Structure 1
Amino acid sequence: MGNSEQKHPLIAIWNTYPGVRRDRKILDKPPIERIIGEMFAIGEFYYYALNLTNSTLSHHHENILKLHGLSAYPENLKEVIELTHPDDIGFVIKAEQVLVNKITEIGLESQLYIKGSYCFRMKTAEGNYELFHHQSIITMEDETGIPIQSINIHTNIHHITKENPYTVLVSGIGPRNDFHQVKLDCFSKPENFSEHLTKREMEILSFIAKGYSGPEIAQALILSEHTIRTHRKNILRKTNSRNSKELVKKAFEKGLI
């Protein structure tokens, strides 16, 4: 059995999050269906529940075995971090610090409605390092509001792009519409076109990335299909994209999703 006290480089970062407690037991299954509904996966993906108090993992999606060529489900986050490209560890550490700082800034009362995402390379079953898109949402807090569990989802996007934007995206879900894009310039300085997209266009871009059709987006946002078509046309023009496939590729490369 794995050791629940295995150390990994993110522990020091999480300890800066206000009031995180240690050694809390988590027995209930997290609301996987609701959480995945707030995320998107354009490609093969997996998820797992992370106990934030001791870094143990549970409720793994079976794809984690296939994608990484594992013979058993990892029991501690350290085992997942060991699959990360060594050159990307520094970025992951800084990205997690950005998430902690931003959620603290937004307010801990909203932490269940904030999603963090960024990209990094992970070792696959073939022995190669490929680009994965990481998304995380805090899913459980204790009676005092301290976070004790999150759901992480990893999607292999190597078939879409191999370019890491080295950008952390902090966005609101459910009742919140936050959008914070933090580019870590010490790693890369790719061109950014997000300032040319309006808040509504960014919202529609997110739906496009999830694979929603025009009518479905219109229904979700309570807008006419004509309005959605107009927004989509403007988004394609502003991003110099010929179609949705190219748009999604560029959105990943610019850290917009």
Structure 2
Amino acid sequence: MIKLMICDDHAVVRSGLSMLLHGRNGIEVIGEASEGDEAIVLAQQIHPDVVLMDLSMPHGKDGMTATSELKKLMPDVAILILTMHDDDEYLFRAIQIGASGYILKNAPHDELISAIQSVAMGDAYLYPTATKRLMGEYLDRLRNGAEVVTPYDTLSEREREILGWLAKGYTNKEIAENLFISVKTVESHRSNVMDKLGLKTRPELIKFALKKGLLNFE
């Protein structure tokens, strides 16, 4: 079963989604929240596999902020953004802060179910036109000779240094002692690294570092 939590400020929408999704294709709706703060608290209590998160919630914490904070508290939870905003800025920001997927509220029911299943299995999901726009932008940059900036390129020198230490299995305390900085500073850099690279767990971090050739123990 896929344990699903729904966060939307409209009770009718929450109820409708719950009725639509509960019991379909192995999905079990285990909780509902009306705004971001409530979602953060509830998620830590019920431990969903997937959170279906609205972006625009005027009463309380918005979905973007809640997603960012929840990913830091519960890195393994998959957050699928369900929104009316077909907007590149929202899309790119959601991906940057760790959302596993982004789908529009006018999507067919079967597509929503497929998106939930995809992010629950650890895959990313974007609605088709969003994928085309992302690929189009990437290809345009290549054709125009512009530098394509990767997530790794956005890391500072210190963040790259911290990434290397983490990948080699050092604890925050050990890194702090070796670099003569505070544990709190290490934790802050670690959080930034994970956010920027879109990583959730240490195994993912190690795999990334291995691909980048960062695991030289000399």
Q: TM-score, normalised by structure 2?
A: 0.29
Question: Which one has a larger percent helix, Structure 1 or Structure 2?
Answer: 2
Bigger relative CO (Cα 8 Å, ≥ 6 apart):
1
Question: Which one has a larger percent strand, Structure 1 or Structure 2?
Answer: 1
